[in-house]
Amino acid sequence: MKNYNKIILLIMIGFMLSCSESFLELSPQDSVSDEEAITNLEDLETSVTGVYDEISGAYYYGRYMFMIPDVMADDVKQNLSANRIVDYAEHVQNVSDSQANALWTGMYFANNALNNIINSDVEVTASTQDEKDHLIGEAYALRGLVYFDLVKLFAQHYTFTADASHAGVPIILEFDPTLEPERNTVKEVYDQIISDMTKAISLMKTTSRSANSNTLSSVAVKALLSRVYLYKEDWVNAEAMATDVIESGYTLETNANYLNLWAADNSTESIFEIAMTETDNVGSNSISGLYLSPAAGGYGDYLPSNDVVSLYEAGDARLGVFIDDPLLAGDYAPYRVNKYPEVLGYDNVKVIRLAEMYLIRAEARAEIGTNILGAQQDLDVVRQRALPTAPTTIAIGDALKDAIFLERRLELCFEGQRLWDLMRKKKNIVRTQCTSSICEIPYGDDTNILPIPQNETDVNPNIAQNPGYNK
């Protein structure tokens, strides 16, 4: 009898005690509190890496940052079976478009992660101050890059209005979940980009953390900045930045090895490229997936237009990036793009490379007009690398500018640049070999930029929609 009493008492006391507070205090196993996330150098590095990962996704550099502007322009034609982003190819994208939303959301997600790094307060020792500066510098540079991409996609180009006072994108530099920001002007956005990249250059080392082009160095940031200046038509600074990069030790792939530029990772002329590894890649959601034929395992949604292929002279090494596909017929024949040869999505995505630096400097010099010879020589570096037999450029004035513009098309096609080149040169999009229902889109057309996504306009009464897009 006594024993029963004791047993029951023990059970009772036992379960009273088990009701302790700590039983209910659990924390997740695969995350940490946001307040404790950035406390030391290692956390900074992890956080910067997280942003690179974000921009490597299929909805950013992994695929659509290149593919959307390219299908909107004139180098690319739709295949019969084109399905993905066909609204952009047809210039009928709308406010509920999921790609526009994913780009917008992803870019601001990256921006917030970068603000989190830039605004963090990590104490380090003197011996590691350099490392910290470099990481913070990378965050500034990446923020500049994100805003540059945002303003290209969602706003008209810098010179659309005389003082760039037309609507850009909201600049957010501090985290605040209650924000309902207005759009800053394009000028303000460019100023922020230039400020961020300049700050980055001052903080960063000339070699990247990864010792290759998969992460940024100060030189790589200069390359990006020279493109920003070019788009802004700040020729002097564009030339200066390009010169710094050209003189920093990168070398162009040889004519013989031209295709190596696309087949291999981290070539000698690569300045910044997004890493895709065997275990971490975009898989079939890659640029190659949209270009390669079903026979090669791709979707084959898009093809190179003869508009661009026919511009190459015979013997141009760059013709090697087009492959014949006998299964294509009619207007769809005969080529496929092979700049992205790995169908499994392992291709590193080349964001910026040395050849473009020569072309930027050539264009800047031609525009400034004081170093025409330099401009001609820069152009020839690129041209004769591809076609060694090409004659030395003697054109001047507008003819030189046209030659540079043509070379940009030949060199940089399918690298997500053509649309911006057409826009900043205030040219119409003209598709001669056209498989779309729309073959000419005038300069300044509303459909040349993306709508502000409905998910933003629905919750943010202060944001203005781009013209031509209804609610």
Partner 1 sequence: MKKNLSNAILTVMKVFLLFIAIGLTSAYANTAVGQVKVDIDVKSISIEELFKEIQKTSDYIFFYKDDVLKTNKKISLKFDNAKVTKILDEAFQNTNLTYKIIGKQIVVKKNENKISESISDEEIVSQEKNIKGVVADANGQPLPGANIIIKGTTKGVQTDFDGKYSIEAKAGDILVASYVGFITKSATVGSSLVINFVLNEDAASLDEVLIVGYGSQTKESLTGAVSVIKADELQQAPTSSFEQSLRGSVAGIQASAIDGAPGANTEIRIRGIGSINASSEPLYVIDGIPISAGSQSTNDNDGASSNVMASINPNDIESISVLKDAASTAIYGSRGANGVILITTKQGKSGKATIELKTLTGFNSQASKNILKPLNAEQYKELYIEGYVNKGLTAEAAQAQLDNLYTQQIDPSTGEATDTNWLDAITRTGVTQSYDLSVRGATDKVKYFMSGGYMDQESYIIGYGFSRFSGRSNIEYKVNDYLTLSNNISVSDITSSTAPDGGSWNNPFKSTLELSPLIPIYDEEGQFNSEHVSYFPIGSNPVGSLSGDDLWETNTSRIIDNFAVSINPIKNLVFRSQWNFDVLSINESTYYNRRYGSGYETNGYAYEANTTNKTWVGTQTLDYTFDFQSNHNLNLLGGYEAQQTIRESFSASGTDFPNDVVKTLSTAAAEYSIAGSKSEYTFSSMFLRANYNFNSKYYLSGSIRNDGSSRFGADNKYGTFYSVGASWNINKEAFMANLSFINMLKLRTSYGLTGNAAIGNFASLGLYGYGNDYNGSPGGTPSQLANPDLTWETQENFNIGLDFGLFKRINGTVEYFDRLSSDLILDVPISPTTGFTSLTQNFGSMSNKGLELTLNADIIDKNDFRWSLGFNTTFIKNKITELDEDYTDGAYRRQVGEDFQSFYMYGWAGIDQTTGSVQYYTDETETTITNNIGQASRYLVGKSATPDFYGGFNTSFSYKGFSLNANFMYSYGNYLHDSRAVGSLGDGRLTPRSTATYLFENRWVEGKTDALFPKFQWGGHSGSNQANITRWLYDGSYIRLKDLTIAYSVPEKYTSLLHLNSARIYARGTNILTFTKDKDLYIDPEQAINGSYSALTPAMKTISVGLDIQL
Q: What is the DSSP letter of 184?
A: P
Q: What is the DSSP letter of 412?
A: H
CB 76 within 8 A of CB 70: yes
Burial class for 200, CB neighbours closer than 10 Å (0-12, 13-18, 19+): buried
Q: Among residues 36 and 123, whose Cβ is nearest to partner 1?
A: 36
Q: Among residues 155 and 387, whose Cβ is nearest to partner 1?
A: 155
Please state the closest distance from residue 416 (CB atom) to partner 1, in A.
20
CB 173 within 8 A of CB 115: yes
Q: Among residues 220 and 246, whose Cβ is nearest to partner 1?
A: 220
**What is the per-residue DSSP string for 349-388?**
EEEEEHHHHHHHHHHHHHHH-S-HHHHHHHHHHHHHHH-T
Please state the closest distance from residue 403 (CB atom) to partner 1, in A.
37
Do the bridges between strand 349-353 and strand 76-78 make them parallel or antiparallel, or are there none, so unpaired? unpaired
Q: Among residues 79 and 376, whose Cβ is nearest to partner 1?
A: 79
Please state the closest distance from residue 69 (CB atom) to partner 1, in A.
21
List Cα–Cα distances, 281 to 66, 202, 297, 298, in angstroms. Answer: 16, 32, 16, 15
Indicate the helix (H) or strand (E) that contains 77: strand 76-78
Please state the closest distance from residue 336 (CB atom) to partner 1, in A.
13
Q: Which residue has the tokens 């992660």?
A: 113
Q: Among residues 81 and 254, whose Cβ is nearest to partner 1?
A: 81
Please state the closest distance from residue 14 (CB atom) to partner 1, in A.
9
Rounded to 10 deg, the angle between the 218-232 and 129-154 helix axes is 30
Please state the closest distance from residue 214 (CB atom) to partner 1, in A.
5
Q: Among residues 175 and 443, whose Cβ is nearest to partner 1?
A: 175
Please state the closest distance from residue 144 (CB atom) to partner 1, in A.
17
Cα separation, 405 vs 442, in Å, equals 18
Q: Among residues 153 and 317, whose Cβ is nearest to partner 1?
A: 153
CB 106 within 8 A of CB 57: yes
Please state the closest distance from residue 16 (CB atom) to partner 1, in A.
7
Q: Among residues 9 and 236, whose Cβ is nearest to partner 1?
A: 9
Q: What is the DSSP letter of 319?
A: G
Burial class for 114, CB neighbours closer than 10 Å (0-12, 13-18, 19+): buried
Distance, first Cα to last Cα, the chain: 79
Please state the closest distance from residue 454 (CB atom) to partner 1, in A.
8
| Phi, psi angle pair for 167, to nearest 5° | -65, 130
Which of helix, strand or coil describes residue 336? Answer: strand
The radius of gyration of the chain from alpha carbons, rounded to an integer in Å, stands at 26
Which of helix, strand or coil describes residue 200? Answer: helix
Please state the closest distance from residue 207 (CB atom) to partner 1, in A.
15
Beta bridge partners of 440: 430
Q: Among residues 161 and 284, whose Cβ is nearest to partner 1?
A: 284
Q: Among residues 5 and 125, whose Cβ is nearest to partner 1?
A: 5
